[in-house]
A and B are shown apart, each in its own frame.
Chain A
Amino acid sequence: MTAKKLVLPRLGFWWVAAGILLIALGVIAAVRFTKGLGAVTNLSDPFPWGLWIGFDVLCGVGLAAGGFAIAAAVYVFHLEDFKPILRPTILTAFLGYALVIVALIFDLGKPWNIWHPIVMWNPHSVMFEVGWCVMLYTTVLFLEFLPAVLERFRLAKPLRILAKASPFLVILGVILSTLHQSSLGSLFLILPHKVHPLWYSPLLPVLFFVSAVAAGLAMTVVESWFSRRAFGRPIETALLARLSRTSVVVLALYLALRLRDLIARQALPTLFPLSLASWLFLAELILGVVVPMVALATAWVRSSPRRLAIFQGMVVLGFILNRLNVSITAVESATGYRYLPAIPEFLVTMGLVALGMLGFCAACKYFNVFPETQWREEEKWRTAPAASLAIDG
């Protein structure tokens, strides 16, 4: 309780910021749906995909990857000690997917036809696969989070049914996620002449999948850190450290795949002459992969939740940079067309992030996102330090 009181003033600023962003979201939506996409975006015939696809969709889906990774660890591999971070991770993933759908409603020219892939099939289209994955996996995530809602209303019978179905749901979720993460990379396979060779690769689906796993794990750690700051929750340092060891392996695998692919395609010489694209490529790979991989491999970094959050934060930022590079930088430098998002595009993106955070706070308030039963013991001896951290943070 003490922690909650002390946190409230900090939230004040964020409430105001979120309010302003939500109003902006409404105004931009009104303009967009009466005057067209051109009125609020810098999209054009040669550059039909922009920030909403590059960030809101590609990053939104990727950062939700923690959901399937942790669910698989707990339910498929029976690593039950990860259970305390399962629900917040599932919630993040569900909200991530819900926001991807909202972003699509903004971005699609005729969003009222969004259901068409259900009845009009073209299995040769990657976008068809993407559409189905979004629909099915959002449903799975909803069902995975549903127990928290059912508990709140004490509905025992559906809870029992869901508990029985959960291994099946989780396995289905892992398969759908694998398909979805990789298919977002496959989207770019059909435009070899429009994506710079530093990023175009037949391996794009594999690279997208592996980097999404790294980003999902990183996001889980970063989000635990923020949850503690916002809700005064004790942090599972040991768990996050173990998760980060896995991150090191995943990042190493990603780096090996990426370098192997770049060398095999003889793409590295295209770094020169050094251009903005080359620097963004280097930043993505060195700051987003190599540095955090080395850092997370050290016990010194893994022993402090703060340091974990910083270096996993770098993984998240590197991931975001990668997706923006593939969808914008690589296309810009291969086609010669320029694209800089318009201000409303930025505002919608920020508004959606705000909406996600509000959703997370609301869900935490009404549902049992951090299962108390598993925490109580630890909380007893951690409440005091947690509360003091919430003040200085």
Chain B
Amino acid sequence: MARGMLIDVTKCVGCGACVEACQQANGQPPHEARHFDQDTFTYLLDRGNDVYVRRLCMHCLNPACASACPIGALRKTAEGPVTYDPQRCMGCRYCMTACPFGVPTYEWFSPAPRVRKCEMCARRPQGPACAEACPTGATQAGFRDQLVAEAQRRIQEDPKTYYPYIYGLREAGGTSVLYIGPAEPEALGLPTHVGFEPLPQLTWRALKHVPDVVVFGGVLLSGFWWLTKRKEEVARHEGAHKSKEVNHDR
């Protein structure tokens, strides 16, 4: 069973306890968080009218970053979190380019830089620090299936408060982090351009042809080599000079 998190925007009061807990759990200096950077894995978007939308890594079910990483430094674990291994990473930054949510950041001023992003506290026995710190239940950790059911229940029971949409259910092929809130995702400031297709499929459509190129390319080229070589031998046998016509007729 894969874990996830449910962010209920209607319950968030913007106290910032989650942000503080995150910085503490990841050993970052306490600071005001406005956007993702090397010391900021989560921050609150203030949408006005007491609406606060917390951003963090979506932990996609089929993550573009992990598919892009040539050496598996980023991995989607069976438990749910997308984790990062700095020992493996060589710093090509393809993950940063590939992520549709703009999540991974980089240590631009380090001689041995790491990619930085939320790992859903995968190495923390008590689970995500942010969910633990949340006083109102706006962030709730749990199994994704149960969280989806819970989100559906809340929307059904209180259609006046909730906009009937679970963000993350299908975005980019589905994510482990889910949002429900008082308005449509666009009004909440969540990225809406990502579409519903798992992005790694776009790559795979091209990559799957690699064996064909090798096999058919090899046969075809060897064939041409053999055929044109034959022509030359024949020409030589017939006593013709290194005949240009023979070479040129293709």
**B225-A171 in contact (CB<8A):** yes
What is the CB-to-nearest-CB distance from A3 to chain B, in angstroms, rounded to a whole number?
30
A193 pairs with B193, CB closer than 8 A = yes
A sample of 28 inter-chain contacts (CB < 8 A) reads: A35-B109, A35-B111, A36-B109, A36-B113, A37-B108, A48-B96, A78-B232, A79-B247, A109-B112, A110-B90, A116-B71, A116-B88, A120-B71, A122-B69, A124-B67, A125-B94, A125-B203, A127-B68, A128-B70, A129-B207, A175-B213, A186-B203, A190-B67, A190-B68, A190-B200, A191-B97, A193-B193, A204-B206
Segment at the interface with A among B51-59, B99-107, B125-133, B146-154: B99-107
Which of B91, B218, B248 is in CB contact (< 8 Å) with A108? Answer: B91
Q: A66 to B71: give the CA distance in the assembly, Å.
A: 30
A186 near B68 with CB under 8 A, answer no
- Is the Cβ of B94 less than 8 Å from the Cβ of A78? no
**Nearest Cβ on chain B to A117's Cβ, whole angstroms:** 5
**Binary B-proximity of A71-105 (CB < 8 A = 1, otherwise 0):** 01001111111000000000000000000000000
B247 & A127 in contact (Cβ 8 Å cutoff) = no
Given contacts A122-B70, A175-B217, A193-B194, 13 further A-B contacts (CB under 8 A): A45-B36, A48-B97, A49-B97, A77-B228, A110-B89, A110-B90, A116-B70, A125-B69, A186-B203, A190-B199, A193-B100, A193-B193, A194-B97
Which residues of chain A come closer than 8 Å to B94, judged between CB atoms? 125-127, 187
A76 touches B218 (CB 8 A): no
How far apart are the CA atoms of A319 and B214 in the complex, in Å? 26
- Contact of A43 with B108 in the complex, beta carbons under 8 Å: yes
Which bucket holds chain A's interface residue count?
Answer: 35 or more
Per CB-CB distance, the 9 closest pairs between chain A and chain B, nearest first, are: A109-B91, A38-B108, A113-B90, A128-B70, A127-B70, A120-B71, A78-B228, A48-B93, A48-B96
> How far, in Å, is A104 (CB) from chain B's closest CB?
8
In the complex, which of the residues A111, A128, A167, A182 contacts B225, with contact meaning CB atoms closer than 8 Å? A167
> Which residue from chain A places its CB closest to the CB of B115 in the assembled complex?
A109
A147 to B129 alpha-carbon distance, docked (Å): 63
Which residues in B have some Cβ–Cβ distance to A below 8 Å? 36-37, 64, 67-73, 88-94, 96-98, 100, 102, 104-114, 193-195, 199-200, 202-207, 210, 213-214, 217-218, 221-222, 224-225, 228-229, 231-232, 242, 244, 247-248, 250
Tell me if A45 and B105 are in contact (CB < 8 A). Answer: yes
Verify if A257 is at the interface (C-beta below 8 Å from B).
no
CA distance A194 to B68 in the complex (A): 15
Is A322 located at the chain interface by the 8 A CB criterion?
Answer: no
Residues of chain A in range 8-62 having any CB-CB distance to chain B below 8 Å:
33-39, 43-46, 48-49
A344 close to chain B: CB less than 8 A = no
Point out which of A75, A78, A114, A204 has the most chain B C-beta atoms below 10 A from its C-beta. A78
Residues of A within 8 A of B210 (CB): 129, 179
Q: Report A273-298 residues with CB < 8 Å from chain B CB.
A: none
Alpha-carbon gap, A205 to B206, bound state (A)? 7
Q: Could you tell me the distance between the alpha carbons of A193 and B192 in the complex, rounded to whole angstroms?
A: 10
Kindly report which residue of chain B lies nearest to residue A45, judged by CB atoms: B105
User: In the bound complex, what is the Cα–Cα distance between A159 and B218 (angstroms)?
Assistant: 24
Bound complex: CA A90 to CA B36 (Å) = 46
Q: What residues on A are CB-neighbors of B206 within 8 Å?
A: 126, 182-183, 186, 189, 202, 204-205
Distance between A386 CB and nearest chain B CB, rounded to angstroms: 25
* B-side contacts of A167, CB under 8 Å: 225
Contact A49 B93 (CB under 8 A): yes
Asked if residues B221 and A117 are in contact (CB atoms below 8 Å), the reply is no
**A190 to B202 alpha-carbon distance, docked (Å):** 6
Which residue of A has the minimal Cβ distance to B91?
A109
Assembly CA distance A218 to B225 (angstroms): 25
Known: A48-B97, A179-B213. A126 touches B203 (CB 8 A): yes
Q: Which of A38, A48, A111, A171 contacts B221 (CB 8 A)?
A: A171
Residue on A with the closest CB to B205?
A202
CA distance A111 to B248 in the complex (A): 47
Check if B247 sits within 8 Å of A80, measured CB to CB: yes
CA distance A189 to B114 in the complex (A): 25
Contact of A33 among B92, B111, B231 (CB under 8 A): B111
A192 in the interface (beta carbon within 8 A): yes
Query: What CA separation (Å) do A49 and B204 show in the bound complex?
Result: 22
A46's nearest neighbour on chain B, judged by CB, is: B102
Contacting pair B64 A117 (CB below 8 A): no
**Of A76, A128, A205, most B-chain CB atoms within 10 Å:** A76
Contacts of A44 in B (CB 8 A): 108
Q: Are B108 and A125 in contact (CB under 8 A)?
A: no
